[in-house]
Structure 1
Amino acid sequence: MTSAHSASSSVLVSDSFTELRFIYGTAWKKDRTKGLVELALENGFRAVDTAAQPRHYQEEEVGRGIRAWLSKRGDGGGVRERGDIYVQTKYTTPAGQDLNNMPYDPSEPLETQIRTSVASSLRNLRPQEDSDENSYLDCVLLHSPLPTINQTIQAWKILETYVPDRIRALGISNVTLPVLQAIQESSTIKPSVVQNRFYPQTRYDGPLRAFCREQGISYQSFWTLTGNPHLLRSEPVSSLAQAANVGTATALYAFVMDLDIMVLNGTTSANHMREDLDGIRKARDWAIANGSEWERMRRVFEHCILPL
């Protein structure tokens, strides 16, 4: 079997900043959101994911956590800048919202819904407390495709009008390959991000991830642990955890990252934040020092996620 990557080109053993392979996920944090976002940034996360969807996210509290972190001096006393971190949010359609608590009026036209949602996100995630004049978003995702392809393309075209000034890049979540291909073909601003569940029910998005690699689209995974208890028990994950002296969750993250995947990580434990970031580095260092055994483990892991 020929591997999709050679050991020398593997994401895990590259010189990439490994903390950027994690995105801190802020769903379901409720009144702990501000403190946890600040804590994640203090512990080394440099990317944050949220959504303009009060049903599951407290976007305003995410912004407060970011501003609290920015207001402090960094290591060595340097000033922290908004450009030091990556912040992405989402436009969520009425179908995904709590109709009694949402950032726009669902009776308004689609364009008004999107522009109101983006305006609220720019305000919520502003880097300075007293002004949103310089606020921008590194990426805005459609939280899901709209009911029809035409509506999805229409929503995408509306978001394109913000690029590159207020929004740097666009993406989509919970998407299938045909819908992603339709956006790719119809758009002026091409998709930069796909965020999907990484689990057996979608056969791990093999063809979709291949398309993302071909088109230079970053694939982000969620449910990476929750959706894969069998992978946590798999031989390569157990072997890497033991060999590199890291936890099984971190070992699974390492294999997933090696597939060019950025992983959402929503841990609420400061210890786990540090352990995950440090563990990825330990696993990378072990892989560099043990290339042939790492290659064996990686091939076995790839076999574990092949479609049945």
Structure 2
Amino acid sequence: MTLKMLYGTAWKKERTASLVQQALQAGFLAIDTAAQPKHYQEHLVGDGVRSFLSTSKFTRQDLYLQTKYTSFNGQDPNNLPYDPSTSITEQVKASVASSLHNLRHNGNAEDSYIDCLVLHSPLPTMNQTIEAWNAMSSFVPTKVHSLGISNTSLPVLQHICSNSSVKPKVVQNRFYAATRWDIALRGFCSDNAIEYQSFWTLTGNPELLGGQLVAMVVEQAGVNAEVALYSLVQGLGITPINGTTSHIESDVAELSKLELWKSEDRNNEIWEECVKALDGLLRHWANSLDYRTR
């Protein structure tokens, strides 16, 4: 089974390398990190990747490694991957150079590459955002294969798409009520071949996690509620980020169990109805929130 999910490495601290290796061994072949020492230990992600590859049948080409350029506002000013006194363009170049070194899959950093480089958030002005984006674009398609943006609104995403030669291939956002579950933005992503990645998928949606729809999938497929919600969200065309530290292997096993259940025709019909119901529920809730704010 191809696991349509990324393993998230934020806040793993000194456990990062061992957890990344464990996640890769379990089947998470897509890893999300950032050149932001405040919340990520990117160099330890690289250690975990190299440890995994050294004893695995898999090669670097089998993995998807995604990292981020984080502007000064999102960094610890005492621990930066670049000189903050330089231009945004130079900051991006230094950040990418550090990421290529950290995520090298062997001893030779010249062979290193990044599958997707994500702008961690828009910068304070649109001109600064475009400068960062253009600097990121200069690495495509050789050292960086694709670009993305996180924590974005639809207008910012549309502006980047309209004013750049290298178009976004990934959007990574919180998936929760405050953004109306990005219904309009996800529609734009779908229309423009942009992968929408969700974080806060579980913690940002306690009503869904404890709701009747998830409970139905749990009962029908015999999986836990967390995996049921992840899978329902996947059914909407979303790639969730899973940052578990305590049930890496069991999540993969439960997802495989659900895929097997869905493979039966009758169960697949039930599944499609559940996904349709989730989409309808989110649209209803979003409309209710919009009505209350008028």
* TM-score after normalising by structure 2: 0.94
Alignment-derived partner of residue 5 in structure 1? none
Query: Structure 2 matches for 1:1-308, cutoff 5 A?
Result: 17-19=1-3, 21-74=4-57, 80-128=58-106, 130-269=107-246, 272-289=247-264, 290-306=267-283, 307=286, 308=288
- Name the CA distance, whole Å, in 2 between partners of 1:301 and 1:288: 20
Q: Which moved more, 1:131-140 or 1:296-305?
A: 296-305
Residue 234 of structure 1 deviates from its aligned partner by: 1.3
Post-superposition CA distance 1:267-289 (Å, at most 9, x none): 112xx222222222322332332
Amino acid at match of 1:127: H
Contact 2:34 2:69 in 1 (8 A): yes
Residue 85 of structure 1 deviates from its aligned partner by: 0.4
- Name the CA distance, whole Å, in 2 between partners of 1:109 and 1:298: 46
Residue 94 of structure 1 deviates from its aligned partner by: 0.4
- Name the CA distance, whole Å, in 2 between partners of 1:22 and 1:274: 13
Over the aligned positions, Cα root-mean-square deviation in angstroms equals 1.1
Identity percentage over the alignment?
51
Post-superposition CA distance 1:115-135 (Å, at most 9, x none): 01000000000001x220100
Post-superposition CA distance 1:94-133 (Å, at most 9, x none): 00000000101111111111101000000000001x2201
- Name the CA distance, whole Å, in 1 between partners of 2:2 and 2:213: 20
- Name the CA distance, whole Å, in 1 between partners of 2:120 and 2:164: 17
Residue 72 of structure 1 deviates from its aligned partner by: 0.5
Which structure ranks higher in relative contact order (CA pairs < 8 Å, sequence separation ≥ 6)? 1
- Name the CA distance, whole Å, in 2 between partners of 1:292 and 1:68: 42
- Name the CA distance, whole Å, in 2 between partners of 1:137 and 1:294: 35
- Name the CA distance, whole Å, in 2 between partners of 1:64 and 1:93: 24
- Name the CA distance, whole Å, in 2 between partners of 1:153 and 1:39: 37
Contact 1:136 1:166 in 2 (8 A): yes
Gap regions ≥5 residues in structure 1: 1-16, 75-79
Residue 305 of structure 1 deviates from its aligned partner by: 1.2
Alignment-derived partner of residue 3 in structure 1? none
Amino acid at match of 1:181: Q
- Name the CA distance, whole Å, in 2 between partners of 1:192 and 1:293: 31
Alignment-derived partner of residue 11 in structure 1? none
Helix, strand or coil at the partner of 1:305: helix
- Name the CA distance, whole Å, in 2 between partners of 1:139 and 1:292: 35
- Name the CA distance, whole Å, in 2 between partners of 1:102 and 1:60: 13
Post-superposition CA distance 1:202-247 (Å, at most 9, x none): 0000000000000000000000011011101111110101110100
Residue 150 of structure 1 deviates from its aligned partner by: 1.3
- Name the CA distance, whole Å, in 2 between partners of 1:36 and 1:73: 16
Amino acid at match of 1:24: Y
Gap regions ≥5 residues in structure 2: 289-294
Contact 1:104 1:117 in 2 (8 A): yes
Post-superposition CA distance 1:61-111 (Å, at most 9, x none): 00000000011133xxxxx31111000100000000000001011111111
> How many residue pairs align between the two structures?
283
Q: Which moved more, 1:283-292 or 1:28-37?
A: 283-292
